[in-house]
A and B are shown apart, each in its own frame.
Chain A
Amino acid sequence: MNRADIASSLFWGAVGAYVCSAGWALELGSVRDPGSGFLLFWIGVIMVGLSLGIFAGALRRRAGEGPQLAFGARWRRVVLVVAALFAYAWALGWLGFVATTVVLLVVLFKGVEPQRWSVALAGAVASALVAYAVFQLWLGAQLPAGVFELR
């Protein structure tokens, strides 16, 4: 039995079932004039079928056979980075590009493989300002100004 494949097939099976129901709700139409849900419904059916196939294959496998879920010893860093990125997206609109970017970079420089404070701060400020100069001032991108109104 392969737990990784069982878990992933159950997940995709559920997604497939949802896609089927969404396609059905959107109306299938007829073969002569397919509706908005026609392809969605049949793709959902295929997804459920494939998930069942992967599930059955996983049940037949012996323990240790096939893909094994292996997270590195430093998986917490992954969680930290993902959390930092979500926080960045959340704060970007109101704090503005430069301030949010400096905070994000300090967290990444210090949190994953800790650097000296001077390196982390200088690196974060310099990177944020260079990115601002290149993308906002040179390329004319519209980066969020935020409460500091830095445009």
Chain B
Amino acid sequence: MELLQQLGLGFAVALQPQNLFYCFLGVFIGTLIGVLPGIGPVGAMSLLLPATFKVAPEAAIIMLAGIYYGAMYGGSTTSILVNIPGEAASVVTCLDGYQMARQGRAGPALAMAAFGSFIAGTLSIVGLMLLAPPLSRVAIAFGPPEYFSLMVLGLTILIYLAHGSMAKALLLAAVGIVLGLVGLDSINARPRLTFDRMELVDGVGLVPIVMGLFGVAEVLLNIEETIKREVFDTKIRGLLPSAADWVASRWALVRGSLVGFFLGILPGGGAVIASFLSYALEKRLSKHPERFGKGAIEGVAAPEAANNAATGGAFIPLLTLGVPPNVVMALLLGAFMIHGVQPGPLMMKQNPGLFWGIIASMYIGNLMLLILNLPLIGIWVQVLKIPYRILFPLILLFCLIGVYTVSNAIFDIYVMIAFGVVGYLMKKFAYEPAPLVLAFVLGPLLENNLRKSLILSQGDFALFFTRPISAVCLTLTLVLLVSPLVPQLGKKRQAIALEEVS
């Protein structure tokens, strides 16, 4: 009963005209950037962060969240029609979605992606609504050792699941922590790694780093290669899936939603891994696995359900613990802080309107996406026809404006370009940027909690192992770090990474 009351409060917030407008704007922009290859939700959210400074925190977070789950919807359109995923989480949708389009079934593929996303997105919000309150109550008991160990575990999972070399992922996480520590020491206000530059006293900005690594670097990589896009020019007919399509997809939708939701909660997990895992699961459980890759509609339904369910799940650690499980949530944490809100166990009590407003807006946003996606497919197809030679200067321009307007500092533009070059070189040298960004956000929190824990325990490291939650997190961390050294487990981990790359 209390839950319904709180949800009612959330809907009262989400249905305010301003919040409805920003929700619509968020899901619309999210779908658009999901459709456009070369700019992802991280880039778009960083770009629009400054535009939210003048609005209320509710409207700002509702819009930014809308971009995230909207991008998951939009990403499938390019996968199906062009065989180029607009989003990393839609890579696997190419396999069967594009084949369906080639067989003249682009309509049902697009519609199943939209319905699947809607169903999974809604289920994940129900999960978020049910799980967040009890988790928040547990999280109130968390002290510095628990937070420290949880962050170490989150980073380790991300590193464990990173593509290729685990040593490289660990190294970049270390670099991220160092970058996060640039600026004044939060305990004694001593400047660290500032090189006597005033611009660095407040630390390096998250937005220039993210825009550089994910926006500029992506453009640099794309202009080096020729992107060939062949968009289906024929009119898309028969949009609605048939009864047989629904029967074939029903369990794929359920399983995809569950896999996506729980992987989304996991720190370091998220939409990309969820989509791959759910596809692999469907193929394994299917009576006709040979149909996969040749236009099986379950191959579209499962990953699309999974990547949308993961977005709902990812909100749980952020809203209840204040710990972002992935890069997008790290950026959202930054947005919360800019608006003077500290996500975590107390948020539900201190800001119930904001907390439940975000959840309610996601219901509304999912409905908007369903209404938006099906009739607007024609427009998205036209957007896909814009040549990259026209698109990339505009993407760069948005990155430049986005970075400058966050702080009105030209220095941040230099930082963004530098990280663009670093991101480009990282790709060439087979390093993955995600651990760096998450570690950058968690670095200061990690240090703060480590130092507080050591001061509390008078330098006794046993504290981390005598408190149960902390001990469990650190034990899991050790298992994950040591497992690649066990040959069989190492091979298994590499197989996951390779599967994701391919």
A positions within 8 Å CB-CB of B: 4-5, 7-8, 12, 15-16, 19, 22, 26, 30-34, 36-40, 43-44, 46-47, 50-51, 53-54, 57, 66-67, 69-72, 74-75, 77-78, 81-82, 85-86, 88-89, 92-93, 101, 104-105, 108-109, 112-113, 115, 123, 127, 131, 135, 139-144
Contact of B455 with A by CB under 8 A: yes
- CB neighbours (8 Å) of B220 from chain A are 78, 81-82
Q: Using Cβ atoms and an 8 Å threshold, which residues of chain A touch B410?
A: 89, 92-93, 144
- In whole Å, how far is B414's beta carbon from the nearest beta carbon of chain A? 5
A64 to chain B, nearest CB (A): 14
B428: interface (CB < 8 Å): yes
Q: Give 1 or 0 for each of B370-403: 1 = CB within 8 Å of chain A CB.
A: 0000000000000000000110111011101100
With contact pairs A15-B175, A47-B171, A141-B405 given, residues A104 and B397 touching in the complex (Cβ less than 8 Å): yes
Given contacts A54-B171, A81-B219, A89-B413, contact A36 B188 (CB under 8 A): yes
Which stretch of B244-252, B355-363, B416-424 is in the interface? B416-424
Instruction: List the B residue with the shortest CB-CB distance to A89.
Output: B413
Known: A108-B392, A112-B389, A131-B401. A39 touches B450 (CB 8 A): yes
Of B393, B414, B447, which one neighbours A39 at CB under 8 angstroms? B447
Q: In the bound complex, do residue B178 and residue A78 qualify as a contact, i.e. CB atoms below 8 Å apart?
A: no
Interface of chain B: mostly helix, strand, loop or mixed: helix
Q: How far is the CA of A51 from the CA of B243 in the complex (A)?
A: 56
Q: How large is the interface on B (under 10, 10 to 19, 20 to 34, 35 or more residues)?
A: 35 or more
Q: In the bound complex, do residue A88 and residue B167 qualify as a contact, i.e. CB atoms below 8 Å apart? A: no
Minimal beta-carbon separation of B407 from chain A (angstroms): 10
Q: Tell me if B223 is interfacial: C-beta within 8 Å of chain A.
A: yes
Min distance, Cβ B25 to any Cβ of chain A, angstroms: 12
Contact with A along B204-219 (1 / 0, CB 8 A): 0000000000001001
- Contact at B431–A75, with CB atoms within 8 Å? no
Cβ–Cβ < 8 Å partners of B50 in chain A: 139, 141
Closest 3 CB pairs of A and B: A67-B430, A31-B459, A72-B224
Most chain A CB inside 10 Å of its own CB: which residue of B174, B220, B392, B450: B174
* Contact status B430-A108, CB under 8 Å: no
Interchain CB contact under 8 A, A89 and B429: no
Interface string of B156-172 (1 = CB under 8 A from A): 00000000110110110
Query: Is residue B466 contacting chain A, with contact meaning CB distance below 8 A?
Result: no
A149 to B375, CA, bound (A): 45
Total contacts A-B at CB 8 Å: 160
Q: Do residues B224 and A8 form an inter-chain contact, with CB atoms below 8 A? A: no
CB neighbours of A40 from chain B (8 A): 178, 181, 192-193
Structural contact, B223 and A78, CB atoms closer than 8 A: yes
CB distance from B464 to the nearest CB of A (A): 13
Report whether B177 and A43 are in contact in the complex, using a CB–CB cutoff of 8 Å.
yes
CB <8 Å contact, B414 and A50? no
In the complex, whether B404 has a CB less than 8 A from a CB of chain A is: yes
21 A-B pairs (CB sep. < 8 Å): A36-B190, A37-B192, A38-B451, A39-B451, A40-B193, A43-B177, A47-B174, A47-B178, A50-B170, A50-B174, A51-B171, A57-B167, A67-B164, A86-B417, A89-B417, A92-B410, A109-B390, A112-B223, A123-B390, A135-B401, A135-B405
Given A71, A112, A139, which contacts B392 in the complex, CB threshold below 8 Å?
A112
Given A53-B167, A93-B410, A140-B54, A81:B223 Cβ within 8 A: yes
Q: How far is the CA of A14 from the CA of B23 in the complex (A)?
A: 47
Q: Which residues of A contact B225 (CB under 8 A)?
A: 72, 74
Q: Is the CB of A108 within 8 A of B455?
A: no
A81–B221 Cα gap in the complex (Å)? Answer: 11
Closest to A53 in B: B167
* B458 lies within 8 A of chain A by Cβ: yes
Evaluate contact between A47 and B175: CB separation under 8 angstroms.
yes
| In the complex, chain A residues whose CB is within 8 Å of the CB of B223 | 74, 77-78, 81, 112
Please give, as numbers and ranges, the residues of chain A lying within 8 Å of B408 by CB-CB distance. 142
Q: Measured between alpha carbons, how far is A116 from B446 in the docked complex, in Å?
A: 53
| Chain B residues closer than 8 Å to A71, beta-carbon distance | 224, 428
A108 contact set on B, CB distance < 8 A: 392-393, 396
Q: In the complex, are the beta carbons of B192 and A26 less than 8 A apart?
A: yes
User: With A86-B417, A127-B394 as given contacts, are A78 and B224 in contact (CB-CB < 8 Å)?
Assistant: yes
B170–A139 contact, CB under 8 A? no
Q: Which residues on B sit within 8 Å (CB–CB) of A36?
A: 185, 187-188, 190, 192
B451 neighbours in A (Cβ, 8 Å): 34, 38-39
Q: Is the beta-carbon distance between A92 and B421 smaller than 8 angstroms?
A: no
CB–CB B224/A75 < 8 A: yes
Which residue in B51, B404, B446, B450 is a CB contact (below 8 Å) of A34?
B450
